[in-house]
């Protein structure tokens, strides 16, 4: 076996696909899409390993490192080696080459991170390379009617309408809370302060797949102080953004809707722990009342975990697929 290393070239994706076959994990399938020619806008370095037999070079492995616009404190890295060429030092050599490239990144950032599935060869390789978990993520499907419906105010329809509202995904108020929540629950790999435009692009516009949003508000407040009738909308305490046919439980789903509705559930990060849990519980009870919903649950989402994990324990929710670990070089 004579291994040679070179930069990625056009056609390598098809050649490697013949050797690799289908991706072994969801994460592998996602990262294969980042294998592309090296460049500087955005900065990316991609390397291919070839096995040269009788003068014929056959690509058998590839590796990529690139900057991330959303989480710039680390570089994304990925290495994949054909099954029959593993445990021969190719992966380690490629990783060493990636580290050399990372040390010269224009941003000055050199720490690597990747996503792996526990118990897989990729996870074992990452552990051996010194990458350690910094976050765990699960896709959780919540069954219909997992929680008792909340009662708002005096229990009247008008009280409920004051606190539960359909809100346009273009709302600046919604964008502000979504951006601050995302930053708050990603302090382990901070995206920094997100602009309203960035939040719209990532989570709320048509290209993001967003189809609708409902929000939970605090009770109405008076703009003129105690004793004056409340007329001002209460502050936004929680949000649920749907990425399917419509927000779960609405007519848009219809009786024949297939599968759970994907929902991004979050809260105003300034709420205290009890308020945040209450907001998550009430919203989840509402959106999953008639139809199942699917949530991405990171360990850093403490309020949402406090609501969902008891449902996992009682069988009213289940994890779909395997967990995902984000692994990283130490600080």
Segment 60-102, tens digit of pLDDT: 999 999 999 899 999 999 999 999 999 999 999 999 999 999 9
Does residue 278 share a domain with residue 148? yes
Does residue 196 share a domain with residue 123? no
- The domain in which residue 105 lies consists of 2-130
Choose the final residue of a domain: 130, 160, 183.
Answer: 130
CATH number at residue 300: 3.40.630
Any domain includes 331: no
Any domain includes 284: yes
Nearest CA to 161 out of 219, 221, 211 is that of 219
Q: CA 2, 32, 261: angle at the middle one, nearest 5?
A: 160
113 pLDDT band, cuts 50/70/90, is very high
Position 168 pLDDT exceeds 60: yes
- Could you give the residue ranges of the DSSP H alpha helices within 129-194? 157-163, 172-184
CATH number at residue 123: 3.40.630.30
159 pLDDT band, cuts 50/70/90, is confident
Choose the final residue of a domain: 96, 130, 164.
Answer: 130
Does residue 253 share a domain with residue 166? yes
Taking the C-alpha atoms of residue 84 and residue 82, their distance in angstroms, rounded to an integer, is 6
Does residue 216 share a domain with residue 199? yes
* Helices 273-287 and 302-313, axial angle in degrees (round to 10): 50
Domain count, the chain: 2
Does residue 159 share a domain with residue 38? no
Does residue 253 share a domain with residue 213? yes
Q: What value does the mean pLDDT of the chain take?
A: 91
Any domain includes 327: no
Does residue 143 share a domain with residue 47? no
Does residue 178 share a domain with residue 112? no
Mean pLDDT of the 151-170 span: 89
Does residue 316 share a domain with residue 241? yes
Any domain includes 23: yes
Choose the final residue of a domain: 106, 130, 154.
Answer: 130
Cα 288 to chain centroid distance, Å, stands at 21
In sequence order, the 6+-apart residues with CB closer than 8 A to the CB of 201 are 207, 208
Position 266 pLDDT exceeds 70: yes
Does residue 106 share a domain with residue 149? no
Does residue 44 share a domain with residue 91? yes
């Amino acid at each position: 076996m004579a291994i040679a290393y070179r930069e990625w070239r056009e056609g390598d994706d098809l050649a490697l696909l013949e050797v690799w076959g289908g991706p072994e994990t969801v994460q592998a399938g996602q990262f294969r899409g980042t294998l592309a020619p090296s460049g500087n806008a955005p900065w990316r370095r991609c390397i291919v390993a070839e096995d040269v037999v009788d003068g014929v070079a056959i690509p058998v492995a590839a590796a990529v490192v690139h900057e991330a616009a959303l989480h710039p404190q680390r570089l994304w890295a990925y290495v994949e080696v054909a099954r029959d060429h593993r445990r021969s030092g190719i992966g380690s050599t490629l990783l060493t080459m990636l580290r050399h490239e990372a040390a010269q990144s224009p941003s000055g950032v050199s720490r690597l991170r990747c996503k792996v599935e526990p118990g897989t060869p990729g996870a074992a390789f990452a552990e051996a390379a010194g990458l350690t978990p910094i976050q765990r993520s699960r896709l959780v499907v919540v069954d219909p009617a997992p929680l008792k419906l909340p009662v708002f105010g005096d229990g009247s329809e008008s009280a409920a309408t004051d606190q539960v509202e359909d809100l346009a995904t273009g709302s600046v108020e919604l964008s502000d809370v979504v951006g601050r929540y995302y930053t708050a629950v990603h302090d382990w790999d901070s995206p920094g302060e997100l602009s309203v435009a960035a939040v719209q692009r990532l989570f709320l516009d048509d290209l993001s797949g967003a189809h609708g949003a409902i929000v939970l508000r605090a009770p109405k407040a008076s703009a003129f102080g105690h004793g004056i009738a409340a007329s001002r909308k209460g502050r936004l305490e929680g949000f649920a953004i749907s990425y399917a046919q419509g927000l779960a439980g609405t007519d848009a789903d219809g009786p024949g809707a297939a599968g759970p509705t994907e929902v991004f559930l979050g809260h105003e990060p300034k709420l205290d722990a009890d308020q945040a849990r209450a907001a998550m519980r009430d919203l989840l009870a509402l959106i999953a009342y008639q139809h199942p919903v699917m949530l991405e649950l990171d360990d850093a989402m403490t309020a949402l975990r406090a609501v969902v994990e008891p449902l996992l324990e009682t069988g009213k929710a289940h994890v779909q697929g395997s967990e995902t670990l984000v692994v990283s070089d130490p600080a």
